[in-house]
Amino acid sequence: MKKNQPTYLFTLIVTLLLAFYSCDDNDDTKTLSETYFDIENANFINSNFPEASTSQDAPVITSLYGNASVLAGGSNPLTINTSSDIKSVIVGVKGEKGYYEISAGSQKSTNSVYIIYLIISQELELENFSIVVAIIGTNELISSHEVINVSKVEAGTGKLQISCSWDKPNDVDLHLVEPDGTEIYYGNSSSSSGGELDVDSNADCAIDNINNENITYGESSVLMTGEYIVRVDLYSNCSVSGETNYIVTAHYNGQTITPTFGQIPYYGSFSAEDADYGGEGSGVTVLKFEIGSSKSAQEVVLHESFRFEYPADKSIKPKNLSPFK
């Protein structure tokens, strides 16, 4: 038996090492998708972000745009411009192992413009981090790295969270209609059941470049049962050019909602002529979902809260409900 002891110890050490590195791999995946962001239809690669190719034939990112502000549970659209023929886009976090690879053919694109949608984790804690982006050419060479430094905007996640982000410095509005018909939007920023519009960006073209709106219900809120309707409206294009791309995300008790209409995340766009200076009832319906409860409607306790009545004069639309004010 003693002659077999070294073999046994060697086998045990190898097994422990394999288990350690397996756990380490899982932690890396968790770091990006749960601590930072996820990307739909992307392949996660558990390796260091690839180095840029030194060849003159490497592809080139001519411009990169993404929101410099993000909120937990929200999203961030990245727009990548290139004149090169590319195979894929790679996205990671500076200083973190692991990155996402997204096939160029699977992404929304116009000519040489590619749009990548980042879905920000509800568990996001870091106040600041850097998104790293590169492209891989059809010749397999890798472009130089481009970086977007982002800051976290304080916003509620809570029991129910609906968020919208967009990619232009204009005024996009998020609306949520509760089962009893109460509509939460810039003109009625809170409801008696605990809903609150706590981030309202670029209001009336007072540009803060946050490009996010967020409606949240605190953990102590008692939500009404029934159907909720989410609408998105281009209030004003604020003299910007081009198409406005937006994303809507929705979470209930920390989980992505399964809608009865639409899909989550929801991806949409506006053209400049869609701007309507709209108030209550305006916008495009993007989602519908149901919330059920063991309590009957009579047992739901509603809490009194402040209600802002939107004035008839749209020129005095409330300014930003900004966490930076």
Mean of the pLDDT values across residues 182-207? 97
18 belongs to a structural domain: no
pLDDT band at 6 (very low <50, low <70, confident <90, very high): low
Amino acid 318: pLDDT: 53
Find, among 211, 262, 169, 198, the residue nearest to 75 by Cα.
211
pLDDT in tens, 289-309: 999 844 323 333 333 333 333
Q: Is 280 contained in some domain?
A: yes
**Model confidence at 166: pLDDT above 80:** yes
* CA 286/CA 33 separation, integer angstroms: 25
What's the pLDDT score for residue 304?
Answer: 32
Strand intervals (E) in 178-243: 183-184, 195-200, 212-217, 226-236
Q: Which of 45, 118, 55, 57 is nearest to 85 (CA)?
A: 57
Question: Is residue 324 in some structural domain?
Answer: no
Question: Averaged over 22-47, what is the pLDDT?
Answer: 76
Torsion angle in degrees (nearest 10) through CA of 130, 253, 177, 272: 20
178 plus 285 within the same structural domain: yes
Q: What is the mean pLDDT of residues 82-96?
A: 96
Look at residue 27 and tell me if it is in a domain.
no
Instruction: Please state which of the ranges 72-81, 220-229, 238-247, 296-305 shows the lowest mean pLDDT.
Output: 296-305
**Does residue 251 share a domain with residue 234?**
yes
| pLDDT score recorded for residue 74 | 97
Both 201 and 179 in one domain: the answer is: yes
- What confidence tier does 130 reach under pLDDT thresholds 50, 70, 90? very high
Decide which of 152, 172, 195 is a domain's last residue. Answer: 152
Look at 4-18, 121-135, 147-161, 227-241 and tell me which has the smallest mean pLDDT: 4-18
Q: Which domain holds residue 145?
A: 43-152
Q: What are phi and psi of 259, to 5 degrees?
A: -80, 160
22 in a structural domain: no
Top pLDDT among 27 and 246 is at 246
Q: Taking all residues of the chain, what is their mean pLDDT, rounded to a whole number? A: 85
